[in-house]
Amino acid sequence: MDAIKKPRVFITQPVAQSAIERLKLVADVECNPDAKHVLGKDALCAAVSKSDILFCLLHDRVDADVIGANPNLKMIASMKITPSDIDVELANARKIPITVIPPIVTEATADICLALILSVARRVTEGDLLVRKGYFPGAQSSFLEGSMVSGKVIGLVGGGGQIGRAVARRARGFGMKVLYWGPRRISESDENEAGLTYVSLEQLLAQSDFVSLHTPLKPETRHQIGVTQLNLMKPTAFLINTARGGIVDEDALIDALQNKKIAGAGLDVFENEPYINKSFFSLSNMVLTPHLGSAVAELREKMAHVVVDNILAVLNGAQAPNCWNKEIFSSGNQ
């Protein structure tokens, strides 16, 4: 008797080996070995055409062409919290389950937020580059004087959520006053527990030494921070974005940085990532990181295993625990 053919799973970039080994017990697994570059559309289509299940990461754009590359695609297993950049409507029409992961990146994202604050305020990356070039201006030189973090005011836009509160906990350790604004104010008891003071967005921008963004990207929040908002900030203030790049009007930010309307910015996310506006590269008052919010080995391993859990459920004929489009299983959609 012929051996039962295993389902084919394609992984768009390397993930934790322990998760891959679990998959290999039940599937033929192929993984793009390049961890430095997002797979191009043609290559992604070619891989999907030969696979039953697509295991995709945050920057993979799974559009109609990618889904259409295989009429027998059985599942799109994403290592994202929401299926942005996935054609959910087409997947629904074809009854293809899309799975995601739960919001387990809170603490890691809050960590990178504080890392950006410290790096841009204390000019850490500038100092690192200077030392590597053989310069040492002296321990009391004014050449790399930066800005104090301890005791300053941080304003959290969308700060009532889990990541905003995690940043607030860290900020309190630096003796910072924490303001927040969001479309919905949290309860007074939650504010007191988190050490948050609610103000209007205009007040937050005008009073904060560090403005940190934590809103989700929606049509109504695209370019939430633009010319008007940047003009309200102090010339000594810094903008920090670990949420989504589209929240910031990058052209307005570049102008603000070039003309010293604000002191600097720390960005982990970009409007058109993985493509970065090259105007940022000439600005020394910026720290740029390539979306490192969840880039912690133990967290990424946990995330990969959640994706594998979803895949194994589908292969066993069950509904995945983190299925985004559960409606495809309703009686009216059979």
- For the chain, domains (ranges, CATH) are 8-103+297-333 (3.40.50.720), 106-288 (3.40.50.720)
Distance CA 321, CA 324 (A): 9
Helices 297-315 and 17-24 cross at an angle (nearest 10°) of 20
| pLDDT the model gives residue 1 | 36
Catalytic site residues? 244, 273, 291
Per the CB < 8 A criterion, the answer to whether 286 and 257 are in contact is: yes
Q: For every one of its 334 residues, what pLDDT tens digit does the chain have, with 9 covering 90 and above? A: 345 789 999 999 999 999 999 999 999 999 999 999 999 999 999 999 999 999 999 999 999 999 999 999 999 999 999 998 999 999 999 999 999 999 999 999 999 999 999 999 999 999 999 999 999 998 888 899 999 999 999 999 999 999 999 999 999 999 999 999 999 999 999 999 999 999 999 999 999 999 999 999 999 999 999 999 999 999 999 999 999 999 999 999 999 999 999 999 999 999 999 899 999 999 999 999 999 999 999 999 999 999 999 999 999 999 999 999 999 987 555 4
Distance CA 293, CA 104 (A): 11
Distance CA 275, CA 266 (A): 17
Please report where in the chains the tokens 């974005």 appear, as a residue: 241
| pLDDT the model gives residue 225 | 98
* Helix ranges restricted to H, the chain: 17-24, 41-48, 64-68, 88-93, 106-121, 124-132, 162-173, 188-194, 201-207, 227-232, 250-258, 297-315
Q: What is the pTM of this model?
A: 0.90
Per the CB < 8 A criterion, the answer to whether 30 and 51 are in contact is: yes
| pLDDT the model gives residue 3 | 57
